Amino acid sequence: MQTFAQILKKNVLLLSQKITEVYRNMIKNQVTIKKIASELGVSISTVSRALKHNPRIGLKTREKVWEVAERLNYIPNPAALFLQNNKTFTIGIIVPFLQEEFFSQVVTGIEDIIFEEGFHPIISQSRDKMSREKKAVESFLKMRVDGVLVSVSAETNNYNHFKELEKYGIPVVFFDRVPRNFPANKVKSRITDGAVEAIRFLSQRNKRKIALLNGPSNLEASDERLNGYLEGVRKYQLTTSPQLIKATNLSKEDTTRKMMEFLEQGETPDAIVTFNDYVALYAMRACKERGVLPNKDIQFVSFANLPITALMENGPLASVEQFPMEIGVQSARLLLKCIHDTSENIDYEEVIIKTELIIH
Amino acid sequence: MQTFAQILKKNVLLLSQKITEVYRNMIKNQVTIKKIASELGVSISTVSRALKHNPRIGLKTREKVWEVAERLNYIPNPAALFLQNNKTFTIGIIVPFLQEEFFSQVVTGIEDIIFEEGFHPIISQSRDKMSREKKAVESFLKMRVDGVLVSVSAETNNYNHFKELEKYGIPVVFFDRVPRNFPANKVKSRITDGAVEAIRFLSQRNKRKIALLNGPSNLEASDERLNGYLEGVRKYQLTTSPQLIKATNLSKEDTTRKMMEFLEQGETPDAIVTFNDYVALYAMRACKERGVLPNKDIQFVSFANLPITALMENGPLASVEQFPMEIGVQSARLLLKCIHDTSENIDYEEVIIKTELIIH
DNA sequence: CTGTTAGCGCGTTCAG
DNA sequence: CTGAACGCGCTAACAG
What is the DSSP annotation of B24-61?
HHHHHS---HHHHHHHHT--HHHHHHHHTT-TTS-HHH
Q: CA B297 to CA B277: how far, in whole Å? A: 18
Closest-CA residue to A358 (of A313, A303, A314): A303
Q: CA A310 to CA A315: how far, in whole Å? A: 8
B15/chain A closest Cα distance in angstroms: 14
Q: Which residues contact A320 (CB under 8 A, 6 or more apart)?
A: A189, A191, A194, A195, A197, A198, A301, A302, A303, A304, A305, A355, A356, A357, A358
Percent of chain B with pLDDT over 70: 91
Alpha-carbon dihedral sign for residues A96, A252, A101, A210: negative
Q: Which residues touch strand C (CB under 7 A)?
A: A 30, 32-34, 44-45, 48-49, 51-52, 74, 76-77, 79-81, 83-84; B 41-46, 49, 55-58, 61, 80, 83-84, 86
Residue in A closest to B87 by C-alpha: A79
Measure CA to C1' and name the residue nearest C2.
Answer: B46
Q: Output the distance from A258 CA to C14 C1' rounded to whole Å.
A: 73
Q: Is the pLDDT of residue A16 over 80?
A: no
Q: Output the distance from A42 CA to C14 C1' rounded to whole Å.
A: 19
Dihedral of the CA atoms A302, A306, A308, A310 (nearest 10)?
60
Residue in A closest to B127 by C-alpha: A108
Question: CB distance B82–A79 less than 8 Å?
Answer: yes
pLDDT per residue as tens digits for the range B123-149: 999 999 999 999 999 999 999 999 999
Q: Output the distance from A162 CA to D12 C1' rounded to whole Å.
A: 36
A244/chain B closest Cα distance in angstroms: 25
Instruction: Name A352's bridge partners.
Output: A188
Question: CB distance B79–A88 less than 8 Å?
Answer: yes
Interface test with A, best of B110, B123, B343 (most A CBs within 10 A): B123
Measure CA to C1' and name the residue nearest C5.
Answer: B45
Q: CA B107 to CA B113: how far, in whole Å? A: 10
Question: CB distance A82–B78 less than 8 Å?
Answer: yes
Q: Is the pLDDT of residue B3 over 60?
A: no
Most confident of A83-87, A150-154, B60-64: A150-154
Interface test with B, best of A123, A314, A346 (most B CBs within 10 A): A123
Nearest nucleotide by C1' from A37 CA? D3
Beta-carbon contacts below 8 Å between A and B: 116
The pLDDT value recorded for residue B60 is 87
Q: Model pTM?
A: 0.88
Question: CB distance A83–B77 less than 8 Å?
Answer: yes
Average pLDDT, rounded, for chain B: 89
Question: CB distance A125–B108 less than 8 Å?
Answer: yes
The pLDDT value recorded for residue A242 is 95
Q: CA A306 to CA B136: how far, in whole Å? A: 27
Q: Which band of pLDDT confidence, cut at 50, 70 and 90, is reported for residue B277?
A: very high
**Angle between helix B44-51 and B59-71 (nearest 10):** 90
**Among partner residues B75, B98, B312, which is closest to A107 by beta-carbon distance?**
B98
Q: Which residues contact B179 (CB under 8 A, 6 or more apart)?
A: B152, B156, B159, B218, B219, B220
Answer for the pair B96, B103: CB distance below 8 angstroms, yes or no: yes
Which positions on chain D have an atom < 7 Å from some protein CB?
1-5, 7-13
Answer for the pair B274, B316: CB distance below 8 angstroms, yes or no: yes
Phi, psi of A76 (to 5 degrees): -60, 140
Pick the more confident residue, A193 or B30.
A193
Which positions on chain C have an atom < 7 Å from some protein CB?
1-5, 7-13
Give the C-alpha distances (Å, rounded to integers) separating B359 from A298, B262, B309, B310, B317: 29, 24, 12, 11, 6
Alpha helices of chain A — where are they, by DSSP H?
4-28, 33-40, 44-51, 59-71, 78-85, 101-116, 130-143, 160-167, 191-204, 220-235, 252-264, 277-289, 324-340
Q: CA A163 to CA A134: how far, in whole Å? A: 11
Question: CB distance A104–B99 less than 8 Å?
Answer: yes
pLDDT per residue as tens digits for the range A95-146: 999 999 999 999 999 999 999 999 999 999 999 999 999 999 999 999 999 9
Phi, psi of B281 (to 5 degrees): -65, -40
Task: Give A294's DSSP letter.
Answer: B
B126/chain A closest Cα distance in angstroms: 11
Nearest nucleotide by C1' from A57 CA? D1
Per-residue pLDDT averaged across B299-316, rounded?
97
Answer for the pair B147, B171: CB distance below 8 angstroms, yes or no: yes
Per-residue pLDDT averaged across B115-124, rounded?
95
Question: CB distance B108–A120 less than 8 Å?
Answer: no
Chain A residues lying within 8 Å of B90, measured CB to CB: 122
Phi, psi of A115 (to 5 degrees): -60, -40
Average pLDDT, rounded, for chain A: 90
Residue in B closest to A18 by C-alpha: B344
CA B242 to mean position of chain CA atoms: 34
pLDDT per residue as tens digits for the range B208-251: 999 999 999 989 999 999 999 999 999 999 999 999 999 999 99
Q: Output the distance from A133 CA to C10 C1' rounded to whole Å.
A: 35
A20/chain B closest Cα distance in angstroms: 7
Chain B residues lying within 8 Å of A163, measured CB to CB: none
Q: Which residues of B37-46 are buried (b: 16+ CB within 10 A; e: fewer)?
A: bebbebeeeb
CA A271 to mean position of chain CA atoms: 32
Amino acid at B233: V
Q: CA A263 to CA A173: how far, in whole Å? A: 39
A162/chain B closest Cα distance in angstroms: 16
Q: CA A152 to CA B103: how far, in whole Å? A: 22
Question: CB distance A139–B120 less than 8 Å?
Answer: yes
Chain B residues lying within 8 Å of A281, measured CB to CB: 311
Closest-CA residue to A271 (of A323, A329, A316): A316
A328/chain B closest Cα distance in angstroms: 14
Question: CB distance B79–A77 less than 8 Å?
Answer: no
Nearest nucleotide by C1' from A44 CA? D3
Question: CB distance A79–B77 less than 8 Å?
Answer: no
Alpha helices of chain B — where are they, by DSSP H?
4-28, 33-40, 44-51, 59-71, 78-85, 101-116, 130-143, 160-167, 191-204, 220-235, 252-264, 277-289, 324-340
The pLDDT value recorded for residue A344 is 62
Answer for the pair B90, A91: CB distance below 8 angstroms, yes or no: no
Three-state DSSP state, B300: strand
Instruction: Report the length, in residues, of chain B.
Output: 360
A178/chain B closest Cα distance in angstroms: 22
pLDDT per residue as tens digits for the range A17-31: 333 333 333 444 678
Answer for the pair A334, A352: CB distance below 8 angstroms, yes or no: no
Q: Output the distance from A79 CA to D5 C1' rounded to whole Å.
A: 21
Q: On the CB side of B266, how many CA atoms lie within 13 Å of its CA? A: 3
CA B30 to mean position of chain CA atoms: 34
The pLDDT value recorded for residue A30 is 79
Nearest nucleotide by C1' from B62 CA? C1
Q: On the CB side of B163, how many CA atoms lie within 13 Å of its CA? A: 5
Q: CA A232 to CA A292: how far, in whole Å? A: 26
Q: CA B231 to CA B227: how far, in whole Å? A: 6
Q: Output the distance from A298 CA to C13 C1' rounded to whole Å.
A: 74
Instruction: Report the length, in residues, of chain A.
Output: 360
Q: CA A91 to CA B76: how far, in whole Å? A: 18
Per-residue pLDDT averaged across A54-74, rounded?
89
CA B199 to mean position of chain CA atoms: 29
